[in-house]
Amino acid sequence: MSKVLVDRFNRVHDYLRISVTDRCNLRCVYCMPEEGMTFEPEEKLLRFDEIAEVVRVLAGYGVRKLRLTGGEPLVRKNLVELVRMLSAIPGIEDIALTTNGVFFAAKADAFKEAGLTRINISLDSLRADRFSLITRGGDIRRVLDSVAAAQRVGLDPIKLNVVLMKGINDDEIEDFLQLTLSGRVQVRFIEYMPIGHDDDGWKTKYVPLSAVLERCERMGWHVQPHGEVYGNGPSKNYRIEGAPGSFGLIHPVSDHFCETCNRLRLTADGNIKPCLYWSDEFNVRKYIGDDEALAKLFFRALDVKPQNHEMAQALLGASQSHVPTMRRMSQIGG
Ligand code: SAM
Ligand code: SF4
């Protein structure tokens, strides 16, 4: 067995995204229906010691970066404790969190002290009423408090995730870009993805991210590629000339970034997913405690990792080579 997690296309995997729960306190329109969600019973979720075991074995094969996500990771009790356990694992250098920001402010110091290194906060509108509509009831003040708390404890740069939706928030592109002119924040515009949706509603709201660069041009803003922000993720990064902040474009649909994919995912119920989009999954639970068997499972997952995800074919209604997942982003860990 190789000592690094390399797949058939020579992609080396050093990054694990961990979904700690499929539950959430919000119901964002692009992510969950308003009612009728069913969640995993608590006993089906991996315990913190089980997650730490999986990470310890993966760290032995070169995984260095982790991201905790969900669902909303902060609805899982004592998440700070998990951060502390993971940051103590030899080889782990970077622990990031993706959160809706509602519960983070009060815990910012504890997270930082436990070893959290970076944070992404989802914020799809800067207007309180609109934010409440998109999240179905979220209070923007709590999210803005969390952004301020993250800044105060030194999680820098803070990344703000914005899913662009036609007719819903695409008139705020300029307002979000203005944030990069006034502070050291990175705004990440994300294309609406056809993940786990049982209807085609996303097609009418999909906005290609070329709209962001067009807006900069219309504003007369000179945009430069920006390579400094840490992370070799899917984001193409730019900076408006003279701005302290930057912005990133994440276009999984129109311009996939699969050639450089370095990530594996661990679902809350213990499945390794080699690709966000396809349905292949490998359950770790029965192998925990047997390092070699667990490692073999990771390599089996890598063996079926496809060259790319073919989401664009879904947009065109064309046929695809694999079976897309029926799980939602909140279950996979977006
Ligand atoms: N609850 C946390 C949050 O909202 O940041 C973490 C989980 S959420 C599933 C992670 C990210 O996935 C968020 O930035 C969210 O906006 C994004 N997301 C969810 N559904 C999406 C979709 N259909 N297309 C694009 N992004 C999506
Ligand atoms: Fe919850 Fe995040 Fe999904 Fe919104 S995007 S419903 S905050 S999991």
Pocket probe for ligand 2: among 19, 32, 132, the residue whose CB has the most ligand atoms within 8 Å is: 32
Torsions phi, psi for 47 (to 5 deg): -75, 165
Pocket probe for ligand 1: among 329, 330, 331, the residue whose CB has the most ligand atoms within 8 Å is: 329
Q: State how far the Cα of 103 lies from the Cα of 191, in Å rounded to an integer.
A: 25
Pocket-forming residues, ligand 1, beta carbon under 6 Å: 24, 30-31, 69-70, 72, 98-100, 122, 161, 163, 190, 192-193, 195, 329-330, 334
Pocket probe for ligand 2: among 100, 132, 193, the residue whose CB has the most ligand atoms within 8 Å is: 100
- The token pair at 92 is 């782990």
Tell me which ligand sits closest to the C-alpha of residue 23. 2
Q: Dump pLDDT digits (tens) for 278-294.
A: 777 889 999 999 999 99
pLDDT of residue 254: 65
Report the nearest-CA residue for atom 22 of ligand 1.
193
**Could you give the percent of the chain with pLDDT greater than 70?**
86
Answer whether 32 contacts ligand 2 (Cβ < 6 A): yes
Pick the atom of ligand 1 nearest to 192's CA. Answer: 24
Q: How many angstroms separate the alpha carbon of residue 8 from the centre of ligand 2?
A: 33
CATH class, range 15-332 = alpha beta
272 pLDDT exceeds 50?
Answer: yes
Report the nearest-CA residue for atom 8 of ligand 2.
71
pLDDT of residue 321: 61
Domain residue extents for the chain: 15-332
Of the ranges 1-10, 35-44, 284-293, 320-329, which one carries the lowest mean pLDDT score? Answer: 320-329
Q: Which residues pair with 146 in a beta bridge?
A: none
Q: Dump pLDDT digits (tens) for 74-122.
A: 999 999 999 999 999 999 999 999 999 999 999 999 999 999 999 999 9
Q: Which residues pair with 160 in a beta bridge?
A: 121, 187
Instruction: Locate the DSSP E strands across the chain.
Output: 15-19, 65-69, 94-99, 118-122, 158-164, 185-191, 223-225, 236-240, 246-250, 263-266, 271-273, 282-283
pLDDT of residue 19: 96
Pocket probe for ligand 2: among 17, 27, 103, 119, the residue whose CB has the most ligand atoms within 8 Å is: 27
End-to-end CA distance of the chain: 30
52 pLDDT exceeds 70?
Answer: yes
Which band of pLDDT confidence, cut at 50, 70 and 90, is reported for residue 62? very high
C-alpha distances out from residue 332 to 163, 185, 207, 234, 276, Å: 17, 27, 23, 17, 7
Q: How many angstroms separate the alpha carbon of residue 21 from the centre of ligand 2?
A: 11
Q: Dump pLDDT digits (tens) for 140-178.
A: 999 999 999 999 999 988 999 999 999 999 999 999 999
Tell me which ligand sits closest to the C-alpha of residue 277. 1
Pick the atom of ligand 2 nearest to 163's CA. Answer: 5
Sign of the C-alpha dihedral computed for residues 199, 190, 139 and 41 taken in this order: positive
45 pLDDT exceeds 70?
Answer: yes
Q: Which residues pair with 223 in a beta bridge?
A: 240
Sign of the C-alpha dihedral computed for residues 179, 247, 169 and 160 taken in this order: negative
Q: Is the peptide bond before 157 cis (omega within 30 degrees of 0)?
A: yes
Q: How many angstroms separate the alpha carbon of residue 122 from the centre of ligand 2?
A: 8
Tell me which ligand sits closest to the C-alpha of residue 24. 2
Q: Dump pLDDT digits (tens) for 306-319.
A: 776 655 555 556 56
Q: Dump pLDDT digits (tens) for 197-253.
A: 555 667 788 888 889 999 999 999 999 998 754 445 678 899 999 999 999 998 766
pLDDT of residue 76: 97
Q: How many angstroms separate the alpha carbon of residue 5 from the centre of ligand 1?
A: 26
pLDDT of residue 51: 98
